[in-house]
Chains A and B, each alone.
Chain A
Amino acid sequence: MGAPIKPPLPRWVADVAQPVGALVLFVALWEMVCRVFHVRAYLLPPPSAIFTDTAQLAGPVLMHTLATGETVLLGFAASVLVSLPLAVLITSSPLIANAIYPLLVLTQAIPKVALAPILVVMLGSNELPRVVVTFLVAFFPLVLSIAAGITAVPPELIELGRACKASRWRELWRIRLPYAMPFVFSGLKAAITLSVVGAVVGEFVNADRGLGYLIQTSTAFFRVPLAWGALVLLSLMGIVLFQVVVIVERVFFPWAVDLDKQTV
């Protein structure tokens, strides 16, 4: 009947081809601008220079990337391990919440860049202060979202648990925490992105390797394309880690993804 309806684009075109196409176009434009206007490399290096300079040092760059990755993951793991019990504690009683919240806010009010050198003196010139800075940058939104999730459970479900004589422990594990999962994952997504930021802050202050360190040393020697290469790798790391969190949520908590969509 009537004119045939134009079939919509296949999903993968919208999901993959369009963003990739836009990115390729952007990079090509960048390259062209650099070449046509003879932009000096230390002001804005063309993508080709960024690529060749970084690829030349593939071995050391990989080492720096792994070093930063380690700091990011250790800091992220620390923030998860601390945030979960902390959120449970905060939500367990208003008294504890009133005692802990000001302290939490205090840790957030301190500029992490200012704290980092002090931490280095305290903890020594090693991996530990970098992990601590990463943790301090990343854990706060995670605590808040887990706490929000734990308290967002419908009161009827809590009544149901009580009517079934569930212990508080059971109530937490079987009702509150599963219910909090969509909140936990939105916190994890924020935390993993912030972990990359935190690790670089830590490296700027004290490090002998890592992508943050690489950016500092290469700009000091005007090897700007290499610094840009480190920057690109940092963004890629952030994107990949974020996507890993997204995939973990989709695979292990598919219902949480559905709830996310309902609330949006």
Chain B
Amino acid sequence: MIVLEGVGKTFVTRGGEEVEALAGVSLAARRNEFVCLVGPSGCGKSTLLRLVAGLVAPSAGAVSIAGTAVTEPRADTGIVFQAPTLLPWASVLDNVLFPLDMMGRLDAAGRARALDLLALVGLAGFERKYPRELSGGMQQRAGICRALVHDPDILLMDEPFGALDALTREELTIEVMRIWAERPKTILFVTHSIPEAVLLADRVVVMSARPGRIAEIVEVDLPRPRDFDMEARREFQDATRHIRELIFGSRHGRAH
């Protein structure tokens, strides 16, 4: 579904310095696979996501979706950002409909789908509210609906729970798994949290920094549906310890 071949990305800073954000990244995500990207800050996780979104062009290599090269944003991807970034002047429903509106595809079917999605994430009855009347978690739920409203095949999530408190975070993790089970999509999910990645993903892509490279791709061998009770399982603990070792080196990994 999503294929990256030898992808590199070099940014030029204001001072004219070249910064290599990604180098030699090759990755293939299957249709409806849940792939998490973890790694230290500056490992290019977010850049990788923006390459797939078509918001950034690669300096080397190629990105393709379903066989065609990504050269610009595509209608079959949806994005969720770290901050909900809802429009403060628009109601929750209008925020969810915003992508359709911008694409000039606003119709009754889209409206019905938006209401459906809002019900799916537990925001039924909040359609006419404004973002400021919602909690952070509810705003991010609306942000997820907005990313899904045009029914994309691919969902890109850039640390979507990074700004939320721990409890809301767990709640939304379960929520995302439920949505994914009900409406299968290929998901690329960037996170700082190793347990979150292991719980969510079919495969966890572990990245190293400066320049961003793939250190290893870890298969997660846990049955679905999953929940937080699985954190006690040996497979879960093996996977998290292994990923931690990859990121911090073995000594640090054993100490925890």
Chain A interfacial positions (CB closer than 8 Å to B): 154, 156-157, 159-166, 170, 174-175, 178-179, 181, 253, 255-256, 258-259
Contacts and interface: CB of A to CB of B under 8 A. Distances in A.
Contact of B73 (A162, A178, A259): A162
Contacts of A165: 72-73, 75, 102-103
B48 to A, nearest CB: 15
A174 B106 CA distance: 15
Query: Which of B54, B81, B82, B130 counts the most A-chain CB atoms under 10 A from its CB?
Result: B81
Q: Which secondary structure dominates where chain A touches chain B? A: helix
A210 B64 CA distance: 70
A255 B102 contact: no
A165 B99 CA distance: 9
A165 to B, nearest CB: 6
B55 interface: yes
A161 B102 contact: yes
Contacts of B81: 156, 159-160
Contact of B79 (A160, A170, A255, A256): A160
Nearest to B102: A164
Interface in B85-101: 85, 87-89, 98-99, 101
A255 B86 CA distance: 12
Given A162-B73, A164-B73, A255-B132, A174 B102 contact: yes
Nearest to B77: A163
Given A154-B83, A255-B132, A164 B89 contact: no
A165 B72 CA distance: 9
A166 B88 contact: no
B89 A160 contact: no
Contacts of B82: 156
B53 interface: yes
Band of interface residues on B = 20 to 34
Contacts of A258: 88, 132
A163 B85 contact: no
A166 B72 CA distance: 12
Query: Which of A163, A178, A256, A259 counts the most B-chain CB atoms under 10 A from its CB?
Result: A163
Contacts, number: 58
A164 B82 CA distance: 18
A259 B88 contact: yes
A133 to B, nearest CB: 35
Given A163-B53, A163-B79, A181-B89, 20 more contacts: A154-B83, A156-B85, A159-B50, A159-B79, A160-B79, A160-B98, A162-B73, A163-B73, A164-B102, A164-B103, A165-B73, A165-B75, A165-B102, A166-B103, A175-B87, A255-B130, A256-B89, A258-B88, A258-B132, A259-B88
A109 to B, nearest CB: 29
Contact of A255 (B73, B75, B88): B88
7 contacts: A156-B81, A163-B73, A164-B73, A165-B73, A175-B87, A255-B89, A255-B130
Interface of B: 50, 53-55, 72-73, 75, 77, 79, 81-83, 85, 87-89, 98-99, 101-103, 130, 132
A160 B99 contact: yes
Contact of B55 (A157, A159, A174): A159
Contacts of B89: 178, 181, 253, 255-256
A235 B216 CA distance: 71
Contacts of A178: 87, 89
Nearest to B146: A160
A46 to B, nearest CB: 50
A157 B85 contact: yes
Query: Which of A161, A170, A255 counts the most B-chain CB atoms under 10 A from its CB?
Result: A255
Nearest to A159: B55
A160 B54 CA distance: 11
A2 B2 CA distance: 68
A221 to B, nearest CB: 54
A147 to B, nearest CB: 20
A157 B53 contact: no
Query: Which of A157, A160, A175, A258 counts the most B-chain CB atoms under 10 A from its CB?
Result: A160
B145 to A, nearest CB: 13
A258 B88 CA distance: 9
A156 B73 CA distance: 14
Given A156-B85, A159-B79, A253-B89, A166 B55 contact: no
B55 A163 contact: yes
A175 B86 CA distance: 11
Query: Which of A166, A179, A253, A259 counts the most B-chain CB atoms under 10 A from its CB?
Result: A166
- What are the nearest 5 A-B pairs in CB distance? A164-B102, A156-B81, A156-B85, A166-B102, A163-B73
B103 A160 contact: no
Contacts of A259: 88
Given A174-B102, A255-B130, A255-B132, A162 B85 contact: no
